[in-house]
């Protein structure tokens, strides 16, 4: 922390490969900052600036340890000094959700001795494939509640709800809650495309008086 109105938050994104971790981070950070790669640490890390109520400015540093296995020797080092961990899974991949129990155990093992409490967020990805969902919402909710995690549902493909999710996580870590206006602003709405159908020809809709009378008569339903 540099001053009372300047903060730095470190978030570590974890979870199985192909769950969409990097895509989520890219959606969140690409418009403002380019990703920076640190070969020494063997990971990708990204940066995002946030302006919070009260004139507080936050630098959000996001560490992507994609490709690491549960037995990765560098994971304890990556968790050092973290303020929060984002556990990501794919709603269409039950195994990616089941493995979160091991990821969470690993987090508790290596972060239990930290001076500051570590917030863990549960993030479900690929909501655009909800029709292929294998992980029930009840499973997600129960796991988050039992482990005191914040709960988030996002779509890496179109960016839906990603800004809102990270803003909420940063708010929990810093203790600065979101206003209603911020929530509405950050909650990206994916609008369906509007299809323009050709206007029907009037001539095809106009019946003669005789045809209309015949049509009306034939439309009566007789109950036997």
Domains of the chain: 6-186 (3.40.50.300)
Identify any residues that bridge with 63 across adjacent strands, giving them in sequence order: 12, 45
CB 62 within 8 A of CB 29: yes
CA distance linking residue 95 with residue 33, whole number of Å: 33
Give the phi and the psi of residue 54 in degrees, each rounded to 5: 85, 15
Confidence at residue 68, expressed as pLDDT on a 0 to 100 scale: 56
Instruction: Compute the half-sphere exposure of residue 206: CA atoms within 13 Å on the CB side of its CA.
Output: 3
Confidence at residue 201, expressed as pLDDT on a 0 to 100 scale: 44
Token code pair at residue 183: 């929530």
Local confidence pLDDT in tens for the 224 residues of the chain: 344 578 999 999 999 888 889 889 989 987 533 344 333 345 788 999 988 888 899 999 999 886 556 666 777 888 888 999 999 999 999 999 999 999 999 888 877 767 778 999 999 999 999 899 999 999 999 999 999 999 999 999 888 999 999 999 999 999 987 766 666 665 544 433 333 334 444 444 344 444 544 444 444 333 33
Nearest to 154 by CA among 78, 86, 62: 86
Token code pair at residue 77: 């080092």
CA distance linking residue 149 with residue 172, whole number of Å: 11
SS3 148: coil
Nearest to 175 by CA among 52, 61, 50: 52
Count CB neighbours of 157 within 10 A. Answer: 15
Nearest to 122 by CA among 95, 103, 106, 108: 103
Confidence at residue 3, expressed as pLDDT on a 0 to 100 scale: 47
- DSSP secondary-structure letter at 205? H
- Which value, to the nearest 10 degrees, does the dihedral of the CA atoms of residues 162, 166, 168, 170 take? -170
Confidence at residue 69, expressed as pLDDT on a 0 to 100 scale: 61
CB 162 within 8 A of CB 31: no
Token code pair at residue 33: 């900052």
């Amino acid at each position: 922390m540099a001053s009372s109105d300047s903060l730095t938050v470190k978030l570590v994104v974890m979870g199985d490969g192909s769950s969409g971790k990097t895509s989520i981070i890219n959606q969140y950070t690409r418009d403002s900052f380019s990703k920076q790669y640190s070969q020494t640490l063997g990971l990708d890390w990204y940066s995002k600036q946030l302006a919070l109520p009260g004139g507080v400015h936050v630098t959000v540093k996001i560490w992507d340890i994609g490709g690491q296995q549960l037995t990765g020797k560098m994971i304890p080092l990556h968790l050092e000094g973290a303020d929060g961990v984002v556990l990501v899974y794919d709603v269409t991949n039950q195994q990616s959700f089941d493995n979160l129990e091991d990821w969470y155990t690993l987090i508790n093992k290596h972060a239990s001795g930290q001076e500051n409490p570590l917030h863990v967020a549960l993030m479900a990805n690929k909501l655009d494939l909800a029709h292929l969902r294998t992980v029930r919402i009840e499973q997600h909710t129960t796991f988050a509640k039992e482990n005191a995690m914040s709960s988030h549902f996002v779509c890496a493909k179109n960016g839906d709800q990603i800004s809102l999710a990270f803003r909420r996580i940063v708010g929990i870590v810093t203790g600065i809650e979101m206003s209603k206006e911020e929530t509405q602003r950050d909650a990206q709405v994916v609008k369906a495309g509007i299809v323009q159908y050709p206007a029907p020809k009037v001539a095809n809709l106009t019946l003669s008086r005789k045809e209309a009378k015949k049509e009306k008569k034939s439309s009566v339903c007789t109950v036997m």
